[in-house]
Amino acid sequence: MINEQESGAVGGQSTVAAAEVIAAQMSTETSPLGRPGRPWDRRSPFWVGMAGTAGVAVMVGLVAAVVSVSSVLVLMGLSMFLAIGLEPAVSWLTGRGLRRSAAVVVVVLCAGGVVGGFLAVAIPVLVEQITQLVAQLPGYLRSAQDHSSLLGRLNDQFGIQRNLEQSFSQGGAAIAGSVLGAGLAVFGVITSGLVVVVLTIYLLADLPRIRSGVYRMAPASRRPRVILMGDEIFAKVGSYVLGNLLISVIAGTFTTVWLLILHVPYAALLGIFVALLDLVPVVGAPIGGILVSLLALTVSLPVAIATGAFFVAYHLFEDYLLVPRIIGGAVKVPALVTVVAVLLGATLLGVVGALVAIPLAAAAILLLREVALPRLDRS
């Protein structure tokens, strides 16, 4: 046994010594570590199976990572969307000799002033009108029990009061849980809003560097065309964001004035509600009009009909006059594509997806027209 082990050790040493001699012969001045050996046969079953398994594992890990941080990615995407939307204002100021940092500060202060002024005007009105609504609830209850009134007939037909009483009689724990859930939802919305504001400011300040970094990822031979198409997409997004905000403000103002003329209660509250819903394309404006018209039933049926007619006329005015003049030809998306894009965006990302659906559809149409279709025509 010892002789076999000794002979094996001697044989191993001689093998290593022979390999060292061959290594010394392979080492040259041009290739001190010798020439590489034959590459692996990547068509071998082992290599194909290992590469396929590794690829599947990497894709599963990437999908799991994206799903786990999807909420953060949505906030980042919304922040980039807002930063691109504010970029035209920053570019206008920098074109007049202002440094970019100062221009970003001016734009952020102006946007914060507009939002702060809106809240300063809206919050007292909301508090006052919600207080009035709570104070008038007993009157609405008496009207619901009066079978000759419109509210009473609706109560008799749909059992509104009975359903409300059953909901409140289910127990205080369920109500407390609902209140707690609503409080947590409000806290989450406020936190997400602060994150979006901070990210938007940083992205807006560093947008030229981000833009250059994205363009450098394109091949040098195609980089000029990528820059032209990318700048066109940025312009479309910026025009859409600013134009959509202006159109929503006009919608809320017109709604408030109309409801004040007809003495519909909570006019300012409903005007703010319509302005917020009008930000969502395609579906937001009709939903706001229907809900406000239904609330106008508390005044009278003719007022509700007149309010519905007003919303129909206003949305025709908005679609055929305001949108072409304010947003213009920057975002040209066919009606069918607009509806499909908004529905898909709302299904995938909720309200945020519906907000960004139209400019993303415009960008997709641009890429399809300038890149995909010419290649198909040449094939």
DSSP label at residue 296:
G
**Amino acid code (one letter) for 187:** F
The per-residue pLDDT for 258 is: 92
Determine if the pTM surpasses 0.75: no
For the chain, which residues score pLDDT lower than 70? 1-13, 37, 40-41, 121-122, 129, 133-134, 136-186, 328-330
Q: What is the radius of gyration, based on Cα positions, of the chain?
A: 33
The per-residue pLDDT for 182 is: 55
Where helices occur in 327-372 by DSSP H, the ranges are 335-367
The per-residue pLDDT for 243 is: 83
Tokens (6 digits) for 112: 């914060």
The per-residue pLDDT for 167 is: 53
Angle between helix 301-317 and helix 284-295 axes, rounded to 10 deg: 160
Please give the Cα distance from 237 to 227 (Å, whole number): 15
List CB contacts of 147: < 8 A, sequence separation 6 or more.
Answer: 153, 156
